[in-house]
Amino acid sequence: MSLLSAGLFLILQCTSAVEITEKRVVAEGSSVLLHAPDIKNINLTEWEYIKDTTPVFILQYYADSQSPTIYPAYQGRVVFYPNNSSLLLQKLQETDSGVYKATIDLMEDKASITFLEVIKTVPQPKIQGSSGLVGSPIQLFCMLSQGRVDDISWKKDGCPLPRERFYHLYKNGTMLQIEKGERTDCGSYSCNVSNAVSWKEAQLNVMVVGLPPPLHHAQKMAAAALVFVVGSAVAFIVLLCQPQKQLGKKMRRWMAVFIQVLVCVSSLFLLTTTSIWMQQEGVSAAFVLLCLFLFATIITTALLAATLVCRPAAFVQFKTK
């Protein structure tokens, strides 16, 4: 309601007893049915549009006449119903907003006043944005053309935004920001815009690709473990292929220690990698068994390496038995 209409409404309330006071909000281009006072035995009906406190006649209808007198500005745009004196106003424009008054038999104290507000339907929104990497910020923009928008809301996969994630809205709700994207943020995002007469929405599918930082570290540790495994395999092949007399007992012992250390370190890296993966993706029986195997390998290789370094004689004695 404009300030002018509101001011006029207050003046009319103070100066006369109004039987019906109504506020209507309709879409531009539509039609609206305006109601007159419920009075029987009507002789004269007058409809007026009050603009800048100056009344402009829309039509006058006398009960003994066959048709109403419609003033030029409203010809072809109004339909009058004599049975209840209501008025159908068609092809509405924003300029039709204002105050409409229906008076029966010049009885001002029983006149009905309708405040009519004609607004445009909301514009069709469009979402601009792009998919992002895990851990990077993601911004979605709800782009709007000119038009009245009363409310902007966002949804993910047709539901309100999940509360467990932190979403930030800026610029009166037209920008949605996810500070650190996660794979759980993948989905269909919709921007819903509405006003008193209409609503529209736009959708955009968002993909969040890549690995989260913990899995990046796990990936690096897995690569390092692979290097240690290859090194231990090469050392083991050298140890098998070289004759014992050519290497000597001491060299063979230190190569065995080297192999045990490489296997122990690679198992430690793989155990850490598996633990991080389960923390991010969830626990499974296969990963639990793998962790137990790697843990046993770490203990075994560490004990063998320590025995070969500290008490090689005990290992030789055990081997001869």
Position 18 scores a pLDDT of 45
3.50.50.60, 2.60.40.10, 1.20.1260.10, 1.10.760.10: which CATH number matches 126-209?
Answer: 2.60.40.10
The tokens describing 180, both together, are 């650190």
Position 20 scores a pLDDT of 47
Q: Which of 214, 224, 5 is nearest to 99 (CA)?
A: 5
Can you tell me the distance from the alpha carbon of 60 to that of 215, in angstroms, rounded to the nearest whole number?
A: 80
Position 244 scores a pLDDT of 62
From first to last of its 321 residues, what are the pLDDT tens digits of the chain?
A: 444 445 444 544 443 444 447 899 999 999 999 999 988 889 999 999 987 778 899 999 999 888 999 999 999 999 999 999 999 999 999 999 999 999 999 998 889 999 999 999 999 999 998 878 888 889 999 998 877 899 999 999 999 998 888 888 888 888 999 888 888 889 999 999 999 999 999 999 999 887 777 777 888 888 988 998 898 888 888 877 876 666 677 787 788 888 889 899 999 998 898 888 888 778 888 888 988 999 999 998 888 888 888 876 655 554 544
Position 92 scores a pLDDT of 95
Query: One fold for both 3-119 and 126-209?
Result: yes
The tokens describing 283, both together, are 């626990």
Q: Specify the pTM.
A: 0.60
Q: Please, how many CA atoms are within 13 Å of residue 294, restricted to the half-sphere of its CB?
A: 18
For domain 3-119, give the CATH number: 2.60.40.10
Strand-pair category, 78-81 with 69-70: unpaired
What values do phi and psi take at 181, rounded to 5?
-65, 140
Can you tell me the distance from the alpha carbon of 70 to that of 57, in angstroms, rounded to the nearest whole number?
A: 8
Given a contact cutoff of 8 angstroms between Cβ atoms, the answer to whether 58 and 70 are in contact is yes
Domain positions in the chain: 3-119, 126-209, 213-320
Can you tell me the distance from the alpha carbon of 176 to that of 293, in angstroms, rounded to the nearest whole number?
A: 46
Given a contact cutoff of 8 angstroms between Cβ atoms, the answer to whether 140 and 128 are in contact is yes
Position 11 scores a pLDDT of 45
Q: How far is CA 141 from CA 29, 70, 190, 191, 273, in A?
A: 29, 49, 11, 9, 38
Can you tell me the distance from the alpha carbon of 244 to that of 300, in angstroms, rounded to the nearest whole number?
A: 25
Q: What angle do CA 20, 105, 22 make, to 5 degrees?
A: 15
Can you tell me the distance from the alpha carbon of 223 to that of 72, in angstroms, rounded to the nearest whole number?
A: 85
For 221-248, b/e burial (b = at least 16 CB within 10 A) is: bbeebeebbebbeebbeebeeeeeeeee
Position 90 scores a pLDDT of 96
